[in-house]
Chain A
Amino acid sequence: MSAGFLLIHARPGRVWSFALSWLLFAAGIGAYLWVSHARHLDNPEDRVTPTLTQMAKGMYGAVMRSAEEDEPTADDAGFRTRLTHSMLWKDTCASGRRFFYALALLIPAVILGLHMGLFPYVGQFFLRFVLFFDKIIALSLLPILFIAFGIDELSKVMLIVIGVTPTIILDTFNLTRGVPGEQVVKAFTLGAGDFDVAYRVVLRQIAPRVLNSIRLNLKAVMLFLFAGEMIASTDGLAYRIALLRRHMGMDVIIPYVLWVALLLFLVDFGMRLLNRTLHPWFEEA
């Protein structure tokens, strides 16, 4: 260890880097297990900090058995049937469907932002309104949405759309504005028309940045999705977490939280991979 230890010019070796980056995980898990162990010594019925075996059992139930409100699957059913009828499967599908509907509805938002940035009349028409809408706290609209759209799927998807699209529109708008004017002029001098410029020059150029901006907003999408599900839903991951809270079902809640984190990570990772494959010219800053 040299004099520069812990300072800006320090160069941790591979072993150090690896050990340091996992240390907090190890500490967190260790602390949990210790607390859990201590609480179980005190009270074997403790439900607040389930042990690993309890969580594994809880998760096994979630993966292999159907939800309480559904018909139980027959005990002799095959693994596949039991999995596709399980609580976790059903919740994941329900949440995933809403999530992807919301993502699909972001595409028009991107197109709108692009047009606002390029066509002055479209920009003037929408910009002030979108800026105003962006300042509305989407969650405060929730009661209005429930009244207007009922408490079924539509209102939950609308909550996500209202919460996230203004950000995406404004971000695309700014990215479009950020494309150097030379590029647009150049395209015109090469014989391009207005829509060629919009879709073949500008959209192509901002696409990786737009995708990154959507990636950053995935958490917001999930936040609104969970808020909607926790308040009014009969299935979905957040519904289950909220429901199990009443039973203090920490043995399922904790694995569910980790499962959601894993899913979100996978979606984000997939989008990063997609970005890199589709836009090999893009260097991430």
Chain B
Amino acid sequence: MAMPLIQIESVFVAYGNPPRAVLAGIDLEIEEGSFVCLLGQTGCGKSTLLRLVLGSERPLRGRILIDGREHHQPDSTRGYVPQRYALFPDRTVLDNITFGPEVSEFGLAGRLRPAFYRRRKELRDEAFHYLRRIGLRESDASKYPHQLSGGMQQRVAIAQALINRPRILLMDEAFSALDSGTRREMQSLVRELWKSTGTTLLFVTHNIDEALRLGTRVVVLAREAPELGSRIAMDLAVPDPCAQEDIPSLMDRLERVSCPAEAGGTVTLSV
């Protein structure tokens, strides 16, 4: 069997003084091309796990291998779409999208070379292609991020990450600040882009419905007791496409594992 793209090996993370465990012994393997949703309640450490994969944080114990290698800082193998501050406020939509290829191909002095301007023209054409693909009008290209709605901003952020063709795309509660209608649209957009690009997606969310609609696999993080770090409480393969009538029963199962403390109450209510 081929080696998994992301290997998380008995990772342990603690914060604060005295240290309080956040993640306690996480083992996870993610195959190339899968769409994994990390699900859990606020504060369960799912964003921490994402940051570990991103490389902006390091585990106290254990290690994370991407394509068999440890990475100690974020780089272009992993694209990133955060919940907020995803776009550079000082650049137009078009410049935001072309930023990735521009900085990876040209250094600080690269602007002085004529090749830069030739290449930028090509990149702009490509950016327009992405712009149409994410459903923005050409007239939006010269707008600044603050002139766009939240949903539009996240669309641009996705295009910005995808133009670099990262092998892995990490999305941290990317749609949590959006209203439900926009969120649905974004979900189908991401699903579509995932299928057409073949990128491995790791998507953090606290919304069970979202996780089921998006992922091919849902990994639930939960604490067994408040003083313990989170573990993987459930690792669920989601049928593709997830049938509408399966969602309530799956949701019920996920709800029970994601908040074990309240599980008793949930069960009695559902009976």
Q: Does A pair with B?
A: yes
Please tell me if A151 contacts chain B, counting CB pairs below 8 Å. no
CA distance A72 to B262 in the complex (A): 94
Chain A positions within 8 Å of B205 at CB level: none
Within 8 A of A (CB), among B147-186: 160-161, 164, 166
Knowing A186-B82, A190-B160 touch, does A281 contact B90 (C-beta < 8 A)? yes
CB distance from A144 to the nearest CB of B (A): 39
Please tell me if B73 contacts chain A, counting CB pairs below 8 Å. yes
Partner of A188, one of B74, B84, B85: B74
CB distance from B67 to the nearest CB of A (A): 15
Report the number of A-B residue pairs with Cβ-Cβ less than 8 Å. 81
Please tell me if B4 contacts chain A, counting CB pairs below 8 Å. no
Partner of B80, one of A185, A193, A195, A283: A185
User: By the criterion CB–CB under 8 Å, are B74 and A200 in contact?
Assistant: no
Please tell me if B45 contacts chain A, counting CB pairs below 8 Å. no
Chain B positions within 8 Å of A205 at CB level: 88-90
CA distance A186 to B103 in the complex (A): 12
CA distance A189 to B78 in the complex (A): 6
Please tell me if A60 contacts chain B, counting CB pairs below 8 Å. no
- With both beta carbons as reference points, the residue of chain B lying nearest to A281 in the complex is identified as B144
User: By the criterion CB–CB under 8 Å, are A191 and B84 in contact?
Assistant: no
Partner of A182, one of B75, B78, B86, B161: B86
Partner of B103, one of A180, A192, A283: A192
Please tell me if A279 contacts chain B, counting CB pairs below 8 Å. yes
Q: Which of B100, B107, B166 has the most CB of A within 10 A?
A: B100
Partner of B56, one of A185, A192, A281: A185
Within 8 A of A (CB), among B66-96: 73-76, 78-80, 82, 84-86, 88-91
Please tell me if A199 contacts chain B, counting CB pairs below 8 Å. yes
Q: Tally B residues with Cβ within 8 Å of A.
A: 31
Please tell me if A28 contacts chain B, counting CB pairs below 8 Å. no
User: By the criterion CB–CB under 8 Å, are B108 and A188 in contact?
Assistant: no
User: By the criterion CB–CB under 8 Å, are B82 and A182 in contact?
Assistant: yes
CB distance from A148 to the nearest CB of B (A): 37
User: By the criterion CB–CB under 8 Å, are A191 and B75 in contact?
Assistant: yes
CB distance from A131 to the nearest CB of B (A): 24
Q: Tally A residues with Cβ within 8 Å of B.
A: 26
Chain B positions within 8 Å of A281 at CB level: 89-91, 144-146
CA distance A282 to B144 in the complex (A): 10
**What is the 8 Å Cβ interface bit string for chain B, positions 104-128, against chain A (1 contact, 0 not)?**
1001100000000000000000000
User: By the criterion CB–CB under 8 Å, are A182 and B85 in contact?
Assistant: yes
CA distance A200 to B108 in the complex (A): 8
Please tell me if B99 contacts chain A, counting CB pairs below 8 Å. yes
- With both beta carbons as reference points, the residue of chain B lying nearest to A200 in the complex is identified as B103
Chain B positions within 8 Å of A190 at CB level: 76, 79, 99-100, 103-104, 160-161, 164
Please tell me if A17 contacts chain B, counting CB pairs below 8 Å. no
CA distance A199 to B108 in the complex (A): 8
Knowing A188-B75, A281-B146 touch, does A196 contact B103 (C-beta < 8 A)? yes
User: By the criterion CB–CB under 8 Å, are B84 and A189 in contact?
Assistant: no
CB distance from B123 to the nearest CB of A (A): 13
Chain B positions within 8 Å of A279 at CB level: 90
Within 8 A of B (CB), among A188-228: 188-193, 195-196, 199-201, 204-205, 207
Chain A positions within 8 Å of B164 at CB level: 189-191
User: By the criterion CB–CB under 8 Å, are A191 and B76 in contact?
Assistant: yes
Chain B positions within 8 Å of A199 at CB level: 108
Q: Which of A187, A188, A195, A199 has the most CB of B within 10 A?
A: A188
Knowing A195-B108, A281-B89, A281-B144 touch, does A189 contact B80 (C-beta < 8 A)? yes
User: By the criterion CB–CB under 8 Å, are A183 and B85 in contact?
Assistant: yes
User: By the criterion CB–CB under 8 Å, are A189 and B146 in contact?
Assistant: no
User: By the criterion CB–CB under 8 Å, are A192 and B84 in contact?
Assistant: no
CB distance from A44 to the nearest CB of B (A): 63
CB distance from A110 to the nearest CB of B (A): 16
CA distance A193 to B75 in the complex (A): 9
User: By the criterion CB–CB under 8 Å, are A192 and B104 in contact?
Assistant: yes
Chain B positions within 8 Å of A191 at CB level: 75-76, 100-101, 103-104, 164
Please tell me if A181 contacts chain B, counting CB pairs below 8 Å. yes
CB distance from A191 to the nearest CB of B (A): 3
User: By the criterion CB–CB under 8 Å, are A180 and B88 in contact?
Assistant: no
CA distance A192 to B100 in the complex (A): 7
Q: Which of A190, A200, A282 has the most CB of B within 10 A?
A: A190
Please tell me if B54 contacts chain A, counting CB pairs below 8 Å. yes
Supplied contacts A180-B85, A190-B103, 11 more A-B pairs, CB within 8 Å = A185-B54, A185-B80, A187-B88, A188-B73, A188-B76, A189-B79, A190-B79, A191-B103, A192-B104, A196-B107, A204-B88
CB<8 Å pairs between A and B, sample of 26: A180-B85, A181-B56, A182-B80, A182-B82, A182-B84, A183-B85, A185-B56, A185-B74, A185-B80, A186-B82, A186-B88, A188-B74, A188-B76, A189-B54, A189-B76, A189-B161, A190-B79, A190-B103, A190-B160, A193-B103, A195-B108, A199-B108, A200-B103, A281-B90, A281-B91, A281-B145
Give B residues with C-beta under 8 Å from A: 54, 56, 73-76, 78-80, 82, 84-86, 88-91, 99-101, 103-104, 107-108, 144-146, 160-161, 164, 166
